């Protein structure tokens, strides 16, 4: 047995030296004992195919697969505002083969929106890497006749305004609630089951406004069917450089960003976290990949697992008082 074990270890060492295991690095005890990954990895996207989260998940999956030398399969598990997919990862083995593209919904908003989302966004996950962020954009039909945000607020003081969203508790809904709080106007929320339905009614003028991700609005903005009044990021969005921020439009303390970050189940080995973090940051440092991401309406985040842990806690605390004050409940 001793002789056989010695031969196995020598053979593994030879493979490592030959570069057969691309994710193994000197000093990684886990890699020396059991190379990782040695089978496909599953990246859970907690929203439906074709959504912004899904598009970003597939971009990230391709980068991780190139680095891992193994397929990274996107698994769309939609439902309950992302809770279904997030819960499946929280309950998965912490072996590096099940990951989550979490959002500030699953790892921020839902902690206050739902009485019990089915997981603890801090306790039940290992933060791996901040990935990308996107603002929401406030857009209206041109027929509404407002030239800027100040004109919209003035109109809202004269008559009720209706605002569409992709559902209760989404960033679009919370942006609308924050607009009410910051300006004192009382817009009426009109939730839809899907963003596409909401966009159809917005373009048709059946609702007055909507906050949504820039990528969803871009074709309608380019065609002149919608007018963008402001973005909710701290700085102007690369994809819409001519659209002012909420702060530039006269409304202070109004920053809302969709956040997309990489998590694993709690207890993920440090060596696995390090490699996944390295691969995510490498993607964000690649000029061609960065240009592609910005074309999707997102901006790079990047950073360390510790920074993502802090971001997660901050996002939970940010939305708690706003959700309580606006009395927002899930669908």
Over residues 221-225, mean pLDDT: 97
* 127 shares a domain with 144: no
Within-domain flag for 168: yes
- What is the pTM assigned to this prediction? 0.83
* 43 shares a domain with 80: yes
- Residue 7 confidence class, pLDDT cut points 50, 70, 90: very low
Number of domains, the chain: 2
* 129 shares a domain with 37: yes
* 217 shares a domain with 306: no
Q: Tell me: pLDDT of 25 over 50.
A: no
Q: How far is CA 225 from CA 59, 101, 220, 311, 321, in A?
A: 29, 32, 5, 36, 35
Here the CATH number for the domain that contains residue 66 is 3.40.190.150
Within-domain flag for 57: yes
C-alpha to C-alpha distance for 232 and 170, rounded to whole angstroms: 14
C-alpha to C-alpha distance for 17 and 117, rounded to whole angstroms: 46
* 147 shares a domain with 128: no
Counting residues of the chain whose pLDDT is more than 70, the rounded percentage is 89
* 289 shares a domain with 207: no
* 99 shares a domain with 151: no
pLDDT tens digit sequence for 259-277:
999 999 999 999 999 999 9
Last residue of a domain, one of 192, 214, 231: 231
* 164 shares a domain with 141: yes
Q: Higher model confidence: residue 331 or residue 285?
A: 285
Q: Tell me: pLDDT of 84 over 50.
A: yes
Q: Tell me: pLDDT of 22 over 50.
A: no
Here the CATH number for the domain that contains residue 162 is 3.40.190.10
pLDDT tens digit sequence for 180-202:
999 999 999 999 987 889 999 99
The chain-wide mean pLDDT, for the chain, equals 89
Q: How far is CA 120 from CA 114, 117, 261, in A?
A: 11, 8, 16
Within-domain flag for 126: yes
Q: Tell me: pLDDT of 205 over 70.
A: yes
* 193 shares a domain with 49: no
DSSP symbol at 245: B
- Residue 177 confidence class, pLDDT cut points 50, 70, 90: very high
- Return the pLDDT at 34: 61
Within-domain flag for 83: yes
* 111 shares a domain with 196: no
Last residue of a domain, one of 231, 248, 280: 231
CA dihedral (308, 237, 200, 223) in degrees, to 10, reads -150
Q: Higher model confidence: residue 34 or residue 131?
A: 131
- Return the pLDDT at 166: 87
Within-domain flag for 285: yes
- Residue 52 confidence class, pLDDT cut points 50, 70, 90: confident
Comparing 13-22, 243-252, 299-308, the range with the smallest average pLDDT is 13-22
Q: Tell me: pLDDT of 5 over 90.
A: no
- Return the pLDDT at 208: 98
Q: Tell me: pLDDT of 60 over 60.
A: yes
Q: Tell me: pLDDT of 163 over 70.
A: yes
Q: Which domain holds residue 226?
A: 137-231
* 141 shares a domain with 127: no
- Return the pLDDT at 138: 98
Question: Does residue 218 contact residue 55 with C-beta atoms inside 8 Å?
Answer: no
Within-domain flag for 11: no
Over residues 291-303, mean pLDDT: 92
Q: Is 15 left (phi over 0), alpha (psi -120 to 50) or beta?
A: alpha
* 301 shares a domain with 165: no
Over residues 60-88, mean pLDDT: 94
Within-domain flag for 122: yes
Within-domain flag for 161: yes
Encoding tokens for residue 232? 């909710």
């Amino acid at each position: 047995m001793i002789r056989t074990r010695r031969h196995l270890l020598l053979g593994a060492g030879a493979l490592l030296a030959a570069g057969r295991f691309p994710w193994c690095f000197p000093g990684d005890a886990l890699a020396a004992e059991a190379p990782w990954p040695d089978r496909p990895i599953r990246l859970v996207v907690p929203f439906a195919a074709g959504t912004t989260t899904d598009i970003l998940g597939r971009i990230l999956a391709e980068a991780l697969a190139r680095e891992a030398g193994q397929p990274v399969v996107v698994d769309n598990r939609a439902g309950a505002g992302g809770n279904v997919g997030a819960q499946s990862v929280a309950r998965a083995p912490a072996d590096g083969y099940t990951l989550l593209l979490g959002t500030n919904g699953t790892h921020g908003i839902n902690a206050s929106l739902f009485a019990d989302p089915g997981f603890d966004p801090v306790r039940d996950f290992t933060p791996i890497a901040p990935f990308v962020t996107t603002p929401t954009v406030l857009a209206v039909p041109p027929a509404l006749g407002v030239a800027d945000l100040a004109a919209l607020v003035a109109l809202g003081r004269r008559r009720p305004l209706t605002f569409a969203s992709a559902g209760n508790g989404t960033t679009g809904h919370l942006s609308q609630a924050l607009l009410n709080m910051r300006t004192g106007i009382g817009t009426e929320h009109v939730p839809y089951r899907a963003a596409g339905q909401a966009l159809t009614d917005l373009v048709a003028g059946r609702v007055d406004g909507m906050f949504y991700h820039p990528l969803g609005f871009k074709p309608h903005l380019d065609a002149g069917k919608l007018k963008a009044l402001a973005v909710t990021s701290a700085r102007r969005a690369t994809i819409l450089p001519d659209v002012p921020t909420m702060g530039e439009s006269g409304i202070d303390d109004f920053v809302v960003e969709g956040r997309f970050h990489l998590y694993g189940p709690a207890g993920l080995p440090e060596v696995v976290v390090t490699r996944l973090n390295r691969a995510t940051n490498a993607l964000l440092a690649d000029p061609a990949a960065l240009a592609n991401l910005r074309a999707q309406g997102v901006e790079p985040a990047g950073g360390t697992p510790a920074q993502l842990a802090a971001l997660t806690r901050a996002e939970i605390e940010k939305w708690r008082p706003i959700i309580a004050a606006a009395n927002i409940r899930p669908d």
